[in-house]
Copies of this chain bind each other. A is one copy, B any other.
């Protein structure tokens, strides 16, 4: 097989655009020098637009989980009770972080593959007025569900003053995120998904009322103290040495997002999602999620007539094409294909055409080209609007 050729179609880390690689390769600079301040000053307003907020977006050097932990330790005061909505592995991640701080944590879990129901959460909160923070995943990477965050925030606000903290790691920059308009209090994301960067940076924004609580919160923290980060950010610097080369790349990523236009970026992700789902439908591969709950960044399939793990192995061997497996209760039962960030409709046509060959290799009876045709049809209809 042609060496030095990988096709990375997992839901993150995602491929990195060449211009971003080049940007990251520029010579190192001092983190306390003028160049770094200039870079941070340039990044600040541009990052706010992606989050849909007027608040500062903290650039934390750490992976997504560091950002999630920062959200917990900054928003939850000792002795408070919180609610974690669990729709998959990353909802669980939130609850594990809370529990590691001995925070009294209510778990509201829905079957993996389903989205959280805002009305049910509202009902739960009415029965638990003591809850002060609600943690939810936006895109649940482990299932491909995009939780209805806008509706969830509205529902929570009807019955509670609890802060709404959202894990947007695998979808921010790939799907509409209107933090301010939707009334989200904290949004966290990472650099290695729709942001098209290597892992290493986490981005966190907090609402005005969240900042009030953060400033008064006696919960011990140092590196993850968001107030420290914001105070430094406001003067274009960071409290600790940042991952500068990933920040070089971030500037170029923002450039690419602005060149394409955020609305177009979101449309492209929806188009790739619809192409993928149409193809799997045509190939008779059951999807884990309902259309209404499907994330534009990752699609999970739950095969009934072939082995997901064997299929993934074949794809790697035949085409060096990597798709992800299942996690937790879905381990070995599903496979997940990422279509976010540096990924185009043409890339999905390639993935689907290759997948058809993989299906034949694992013994599934399919009509060659049928999945591709379904995706092409979606492109030709929806694609028009997407231009």
CA distance A321 to B370 in the complex (A): 23
- Contacts A344-B5, A368-B372; A380 near B353 (Cβ below 8 A): no
Contact in complex: A260, B2 (CB < 8 Å): yes
A377 in contact (CB, < 8 A):
yes
Contact in complex: B369, A346 (CB < 8 Å): no
Of B3, B350, B375, the contact of A256 (CB 8 Å cutoff): B3
CA distance A368 to B7 in the complex (A): 24
Copies of this chain in the oligomer:
2
Contact in complex: A349, B344 (CB < 8 Å): no
Contact in complex: A260, B369 (CB < 8 Å): no
Of B1, B19, B347, B376, the contact of A357 (CB 8 Å cutoff): B376
A155 in contact (CB, < 8 A):
no
Of all chain B residues, which has the CB nearest A349? Answer: B353
CA distance A349 to B264 in the complex (A): 26
**Contact digits for A16-57, partner B, Cβ 8 Å, 1 yes 0 no:** 011110000100000000000000000000000000000000
Contact in complex: A2, B368 (CB < 8 Å): no
Of all chain B residues, which has the CB nearest A361? Answer: B380
**Contact digits for A236-276, partner B, Cβ 8 Å, 1 yes 0 no:** 00000000000000000000100110001000100000000
A4 in contact (CB, < 8 A):
yes
- Contacts A4-B18, A17-B5, A344-B2; A379 near B357 (Cβ below 8 A): yes
Q: Say how far A289's CB is from chain B's closest CB, in angstroms.
A: 24
- Contacts A2-B260, A4-B19, A260-B3; A372 near B344 (Cβ below 8 A): no
Contact in complex: B350, A347 (CB < 8 Å): yes
Of all chain B residues, which has the CB nearest A354? Answer: B346
CA distance A84 to B7 in the complex (A): 44
Contact in complex: A321, B346 (CB < 8 Å): yes
Of all chain B residues, which has the CB nearest A7? Answer: B346
Of B342, B353, B369, B370, the contact of A2 (CB 8 Å cutoff): B342
CA distance A377 to B368 in the complex (A): 8
Can you sample 22 A-B contacts with CB below 8 Å? Answer: A1-B260, A1-B268, A2-B343, A4-B17, A4-B19, A4-B256, A5-B17, A5-B342, A5-B344, A319-B345, A321-B346, A349-B353, A353-B372, A353-B376, A357-B376, A357-B379, A360-B380, A368-B373, A369-B369, A369-B370, A369-B371, A369-B373
Q: Besides the contacts A349-B353, A353-B375, A368-B377, what 20 more A-B pairs have beta carbons closer than 8 Å? A: A2-B342, A2-B344, A3-B260, A4-B18, A4-B342, A7-B346, A319-B345, A346-B350, A346-B354, A347-B350, A349-B350, A349-B357, A350-B350, A353-B372, A357-B379, A360-B380, A368-B372, A369-B370, A369-B371, A370-B373
Query: Contact residues of A with B, CB < 8 Å?
Result: 1-5, 7, 17-20, 25, 256, 259-260, 264, 268, 319, 321, 342-347, 349-350, 352-354, 356-357, 360, 367-373, 375-377, 379-380
